Amino acid sequence: MFTKDIGIDLGTANTLVYLRGKGIIIREPSVVAVNTHTDKCRYVGKEAKEIIGRTPGSIVAVKPLKDGVIADFDIATTMLQEFIKKALKGTIFTKANVIICVPSGVTAVERRAVREACQKAGANKNNVLIIEEPMAAAIGAGLPTNSPSGSMIVDIGGGTSEVAVISMGGIVASRSIRCAGDEFDNAIINYIKKKYNLLIGEPTAEKMKLEIGSAFPHEKEASMEIKGRNLLNGLPENIIINSAEIRDALVEPLSRVVDAIRATLEETPPELSADIIENGITLSGGSALLRGLDRLINRETGMPIYIAEYPLDCVAEGMGKILEKINDYQDALTENIRYY
């Protein structure tokens, strides 16, 4: 029996799989299309995401994770199974040792669900290690996590924003809030509903955020036409929305992210605060790509802000670095991995 070591970033929006010796080999949306008559999964990942909001009644697209944790255990397990199978393809009689991340704020029950889903999905029973997401993100972003100097990582994904100060291989202060990209999309939906009596879907809201969204005014403000359903007469309608409106819509959820950063800074021991003033705050996660977010956080905290080079890959790359050089990360492991 062969064994392979894989790292899984089971995110609310995207799941990434890192295969030791190979690098990141899977990057897919955490979405499953399920046939409601048979309860069978029809599509997993990219194909499933494409059909959100446009399926016949019998097929629904399900996101098995919500706010960083498993919301639908069976579907999450099926999804993991598909991804693990894909990662190990061609090698029958292979089992996987798995290292997987959870947000730092999750409960013991939520952790256990992740572990059990991995075991059911085909991981080696005794070899599923759980690591806290901000630690993996910091390692993946290349921060000096093992040094006595303090670093701050802020990972803003789809479901959660994770803020952590790391020093000597451990997390010194942290906050995990269930407010990130998905909440930004919801805020856009609510804004358009209130201002224009127009109902739009999640994919449209996300598209607007990606194309014309921003957290801070910038030179290339734009507008775009969107389709929705008028709530007063029930008919389809097109309207034009501009960047400033999306920014307005995002004020509230963004202020929650900023508050989490401030609260963590307030909890940080003074010696380490001095390091952060010097080294700045590093942003990772897909929402770190929101235009002007670095400038907003800089204005609100006064700290220098850096965006990781590949924000969407940091967590998976971090687990990859741990898999490749397990001895260098013993501190991170003993501090962060909980065995059950």
Residues of this chain that interact with ligand ADP (CB under 6 A) are 11-14, 157-159, 181-182, 206, 209-210, 285-287, 289-290, 312
239 contacts which partner out of Mg ion, ligand ADP, none, CB within 5 to 8 A by kind? none
Closest by Cα among 269, 250, 167, 163 to 212: 250
Q: Could you give the angle at the alpha carbon of 105 between the alpha carbons of 103 and 108, nearest 5°?
A: 95
**In terms of CB distance, is 169 or 292 closer to ligand ADP?**
292
Query: In whole angstroms, how close is the CB of 284 to ligand ADP at the nearest point?
Result: 8
Phi-psi region of 177 (alpha: psi -120 to 50; beta: other; left: phi over 0): beta
Q: How far is the CB of 267 from ligand ADP (least distance, A)?
A: 24
Strand 65-66 to strand 151-156: parallel, antiparallel, or no bridges (unpaired)? unpaired
Shortest distance (Å) from residue 157 CB to ligand ADP: 3
> What is the rounded CA–CA span in Å between residue 51 and residue 193?
23
Minimum distance between the CB of residue 14 and ligand ADP, rounded to whole angstroms?
4
Task: Identify which of residues 11 and 29 has a Cβ nearer to Mg ion in the complex.
Answer: 11
Nearer to Mg ion, 67 or 82 (CB): 67
Distance (Å, rounded) from C-alpha 10 to C-alpha 100? 7
The Cα–Cα gap between 31 and 15 comes to 9
Q: Print the binding letters for residues 4-43 with Mg ion: x by CB under 5 A, - otherwise.
A: -------x--------------------------------
CB 329 within 8 A of CB 256: no
Separation in Å, CA 290 to CA 59, 190, 234, 244, 284? 32, 19, 32, 14, 11
Q: Are 34 and 331 in contact (CB under 8 A)?
A: no
Residue 157 binds Mg ion (CB under 5 A): yes
Pick the piece of the chain touching Mg ion (CB under 5 A) from 39-47, 59-67, 155-163, 261-269: 155-163
Q: CB of residue 165 vs ligand ADP: minimum separation in angstroms?
A: 20
Of the two residues 245 and 317, which places its CB atom closer to Mg ion in the complex?
A: 317
Nearer CB in complex with ligand ADP: 159/228? 159
Residues 6+ apart with CB under 8 A from 252: 187
Indicate the residue among 27 and 338 with the shorter CB distance to ligand ADP: 27
Q: List the structure tokens of 117.
A: 């889903």
If contact means CB under 5 to 8 A according to the sort of partner, which of ligand ADP, Mg ion, none does residue 312 touch? ligand ADP
Residue 6: CB minimum distance to ligand ADP, A: 17
Residues near Mg ion (CB under 5 A)? 11, 157
